[in-house]
Structure 1
Amino acid sequence: MVASALKEETYLPQRNEQLAQVHDFLRAHEQAGRGSALPRYFLVGATPGDRVELPAEIYAALRQVVDALQQGFAVTVAPQTLTLTTQQTADLLGISRPTVIKLLDEGQIPFERVGTHRRIRLPHLLAYRERRRAEQYAALEATAVSIDDEEDPDSVITRLRTARRAVARRRTGPSE
Structure 2
Amino acid sequence: MSEAAARQETYLPGPDEGRVAQVHDFLTARERAGRGTPDVQCFLSGTRPDDRVELPVELYQVLRQVVDALRNGLAVTVAPVTKTLTTQQAAELLGVSRPTVIRLLDDDKIPFERTGTHRRILLRDLLAYRDRRRAEQYAALSATTVDIEDDLDETLHRLRAARRTVAERRRSSSGSDSRS
Q: Please, what TM-score do these two structures have when normalized by structure 2?
A: 0.82
What displacement does 1:120 show?
Answer: 0.6
Query: 1:131 aligns to what?
Result: 132
Counterpart CA distance in 2 for 1:67 and 1:37 is: 18
Identity percentage over the alignment? 64
Counterpart CA distance in 2 for 1:134 and 1:127 is: 11
What displacement does 1:134 show?
Answer: 1.1
What displacement does 1:161 show?
Answer: 2.6
Query: How many residue pairs get matched?
Result: 170
Structure 2 residue 93 is matched with structure 1 residue 67: no
Flag the 1:4–1:21 CA change in 2: closer, same or farther, 3 A.
closer
2:74 counterpart SS class: coil
What displacement does 1:137 show?
Answer: 1.1
Query: 1:2 aligns to what?
Result: 2
Is 1:44–1:52's contact at 8 Å kept on the other side of the alignment?
A: yes
Q: Please, what TM-score do these two structures have when normalized by structure 1?
A: 0.83
Gaps of 5+ in 2: 173-180
Counterpart CA distance in 1 for 2:144 and 2:96 is: 24
Any runs of at least 4 consecutive aligned residues in structure 1 with deviations exceeding 6 A, and if so which? Answer: 167-172
Query: Which amino acid is 2:91 matched to?
Result: A
Is 2:10–2:78's contact at 8 Å kept on the other side of the alignment?
A: yes
> Over aligned residues, Cα RMSD in angstroms?
2.8
Is 1:142–1:163's contact at 8 Å kept on the other side of the alignment?
A: yes
Measured against aligned partners, the alpha-carbon deviations of 1:70-119 in whole angstroms (never above 9, x if no partner) come to: 12221100011111111111111110010000000010110001111101
What displacement does 1:40 show?
Answer: 0.9
More moved, 39-48 vs 100-109? 39-48
